[in-house]
A and B are shown apart, each in its own frame.
Chain A
């Protein structure tokens, strides 16, 4: 098991080194840099939404709103710090701002989650949807702090590939550890059968709120990254359609698979850039994909499959053994 950790860490660092090298060689330019940052942000969002939608089985339709809360909290904080005497700048400032943004989103998650998650059924979907609209209308109302419809400008540009990459790695690591722990198993049990889980002594409300809050926290972190990448915020960016786009990523990748969420986030962020002339049809295709997916393969493309180095070795071994046996016959 220790060996697997070492191999995974090695792979993560190699990928980082390769991309950095490509930047230095000039193969990847500024445009690619922006795209890669967007991929990083979408991976965090997809993975965190997967925690609440995939592992916990709660349909969250306002993930972009948690992102907005985090984005505005982090941006207002770092704008204030940059303008003041406190000598905090660069990545340390970004990290403090992200944690603050995450906490703000988590608090919003608790406020929304407590009434919604006490109930069974679809209420969480509609409450998070409503929450998204509330957040947008509040952002427009408190325009002295948030810039309202004009947008919040002058946010320090702190996000770069170096820090964004490792924030993605940390996010995925934390969430994977959470799901593999006792708490994670409790959450999966709730998804599989809420009544049976409750009968087995799992406090369903507690775990639902825990999962939901952690998910909101990381959405807030992603929002903070987004704010410090674009250097400006517009409330319209965090609308219902962005929440749906995130849901499409998670559903397509596999409800309950980190690998699936990451792969789908990468593909669905890069694909629209490649197929620019079909921009108009993108949401239409997403809609058809959602319906077809639910009817023919409700678990998503990856299902609950997770990538692991040793899993691939084992599979190769099994195939090899099978061939050998066939040969012996």
Chain B
């Protein structure tokens, strides 16, 4: 009984750390431009396709392929921002949101038309076997790698945001972009870097996700992106540690629901939690309520 519980907990941690990694992209972009980047989920899909083609098509080893995918996704994120979101920076939020949905639809359907809707097998790295923890409880090396890689990425991000000049600029722009501009911070560059970093993290997330569920298809980002977004809202959107907490919590809740209640209801439970959290604490678990400025 207890062993089962621990193994479900590990499953939850594994998927939750991927959610957290992707949620970071949502939360960083939201923190800086106040936009729900619906296309973030599709960046995951693009990342998975890049890795797939590099590994199976060009025969490049897995790790360099992931690094290339990170660069590719970062470029995609910047392009997305420059082409679709930048012209709308001062438009109403409704327009910006509809544009984000448009970008997401565009990526999905462009890949659908080009690469057919059939799922392709993902060339996951050959990590097999598992580490025995205690008693009957063991953790697969894949789960261990997933959790460790996500944790390392989050720590790197933490140092980037807190320690570097660019990170400082990012925090300043998200606090008050007008004032940041007056202080000589290049707001456009900072926003572009935020998109790039978020998208690169999504590429890492896509490598980990596709290694766990080895299938690549044009709509794979939709569900994943939504859940990661729920994780970001759960932790408090715009707050980086919140996204990490929200992601891991969501992963554990989902894995427990699948194990103890019903597989079919897991989506309903995940989105039900979102609604309950917004009802009780709209700013998220780690969020602070702020007043409205007129």
With both chains docked as a complex, state the minimum distance between the C-beta of A141 and any C-beta of chain B, in angstroms: 5
A131 interface residue, CB < 8 Å from B? yes
Query: Do B226 and A291 touch (CB < 8 A)?
Result: no
Shortest Cβ-Cβ A-B pairs, 5 listed: A290-B102, A130-B271, A287-B105, A287-B106, A291-B102
Determine which residue in A284, A286, A291 has the highest number of CB atoms from chain B within 10 A of its CB, and name it.
A291
Hey, which bits of chain A sit against chain B, CB under 8 A?
A: 53, 57, 59, 61, 112, 114-116, 118-123, 125-127, 129-131, 133-134, 136-138, 140-141, 195, 240, 244, 247, 251, 255, 280-281, 283-284, 286-291, 294-295, 298
A97–B116 alpha-carbon span in the complex (Å) = 41
Collect the chain B residues with CB atoms within 8 Å of residue A284's CB: 105-106, 109-110, 112-113
Query: Do A137 and B95 touch (CB < 8 A)?
Result: no
Residue of B nearest to A243 (CB): B101
| Among B124-132, B146-154, B165-173, B261-269, the stretch in contact with A | B261-269
Query: Do A118 and B98 touch (CB < 8 A)?
Result: no
Collect the chain A residues with CB atoms within 8 Å of residue B103's CB: 287, 291
- Please report the total number of B residues contacting A with Cβ < 8 Å: 46
- Prevailing SS type, chain A contact patch: helix
With both chains docked as a complex, state the minimum distance between the C-beta of A52 and any C-beta of chain B, in angstroms: 11
With both chains docked as a complex, state the minimum distance between the C-beta of A296 and any C-beta of chain B, in angstroms: 9
With both chains docked as a complex, state the minimum distance between the C-beta of A177 and any C-beta of chain B, in angstroms: 25
Query: Do B109 and A294 touch (CB < 8 A)?
Result: no
B93 interface residue, CB < 8 Å from A? yes
With both chains docked as a complex, state the minimum distance between the C-beta of A224 and any C-beta of chain B, in angstroms: 23
Collect the chain B residues with CB atoms within 8 Å of residue A289's CB: 102
Which B residues from 233 to 276 make CB contacts under 8 A with A? 233, 262, 264-268, 270-272, 274-275
Query: Do A127 and B278 touch (CB < 8 A)?
Result: yes
Collect the chain B residues with CB atoms within 8 Å of residue A136's CB: 267
A283–B111 alpha-carbon span in the complex (Å) = 12
Query: Do A123 and B278 touch (CB < 8 A)?
Result: yes
0/1 string, B114-151, CB within 8 A of A gives 1? 00000000000000000000000000000000000000
Hey, which bits of chain B sit against chain A, CB under 8 A?
A: 34, 36, 84, 87-88, 91-99, 101-106, 108-110, 112-113, 222, 226, 229-230, 233, 262, 264-268, 270-272, 274-275, 278-279, 282, 292, 294
Known: A59-B94, A251-B98, A298-B92. A130 touches B275 (CB 8 A): yes
How many A-B contacts if CB must be within 8 Å? 123
A289–B106 alpha-carbon span in the complex (Å) = 10
Collect the chain A residues with CB atoms within 8 Å of residue B271's CB: 130-131, 133-134
26 CB < 8 A contacts A-B: A53-B94, A59-B97, A114-B279, A115-B275, A115-B279, A119-B278, A122-B36, A123-B282, A133-B268, A134-B271, A137-B268, A138-B268, A141-B262, A195-B292, A195-B294, A255-B94, A281-B113, A283-B112, A284-B109, A284-B110, A286-B105, A291-B106, A294-B95, A294-B99, A295-B99, A298-B95
With both chains docked as a complex, state the minimum distance between the C-beta of B222 and any C-beta of chain A, in angstroms: 7
A154–B222 alpha-carbon span in the complex (Å) = 33
Query: Do A294 and B98 touch (CB < 8 A)?
Result: yes
Query: Do A116 and B98 touch (CB < 8 A)?
Result: no
Query: Do A119 and B99 touch (CB < 8 A)?
Result: no
Collect the chain B residues with CB atoms within 8 Å of residue A130's CB: 226, 230, 270-271, 274-275
Residue of A nearest to B293 (CB): A195
> Which among A125, A288, A298 is the interface contact of B106 at CB below 8 angstroms?
A288
Residue of A nearest to B34 (CB): A121
A197–B118 alpha-carbon span in the complex (Å) = 50
A120–B94 alpha-carbon span in the complex (Å) = 12
With both chains docked as a complex, state the minimum distance between the C-beta of B64 and any C-beta of chain A, in angstroms: 32
With both chains docked as a complex, state the minimum distance between the C-beta of B284 and any C-beta of chain A, in angstroms: 11
Determine which residue in A116, A126, A281 has the highest number of CB atoms from chain B within 10 A of its CB, and name it.
A126
Collect the chain B residues with CB atoms within 8 Å of residue A133's CB: 226, 267-268, 271
A119–B226 alpha-carbon span in the complex (Å) = 19
Query: Do A137 and B109 touch (CB < 8 A)?
Result: no
Query: Do A290 and B101 touch (CB < 8 A)?
Result: yes
Collect the chain A residues with CB atoms within 8 Å of residue B110's CB: 284
Collect the chain A residues with CB atoms within 8 Å of residue B95's CB: 294, 298
Collect the chain A residues with CB atoms within 8 Å of residue B105's CB: 244, 283-284, 286-287, 290
With both chains docked as a complex, state the minimum distance between the C-beta of B88 and any C-beta of chain A, in angstroms: 6
A115–B88 alpha-carbon span in the complex (Å) = 28
With both chains docked as a complex, state the minimum distance between the C-beta of A109 and any C-beta of chain B, in angstroms: 13
Q: A130-B271, A244-B101, A284-B112 are in contact. List 13 more A-B contacts (CB 8 A).
A: A123-B233, A126-B230, A130-B226, A131-B271, A131-B275, A195-B292, A281-B109, A281-B113, A289-B102, A291-B102, A291-B106, A294-B91, A294-B96
With both chains docked as a complex, state the minimum distance between the C-beta of B68 and any C-beta of chain A, in angstroms: 26
Query: Do A127 and B113 touch (CB < 8 A)?
Result: no
Collect the chain B residues with CB atoms within 8 Å of residue A118's CB: 282
Collect the chain A residues with CB atoms within 8 Å of residue B91's CB: 294, 298
A61–B105 alpha-carbon span in the complex (Å) = 13
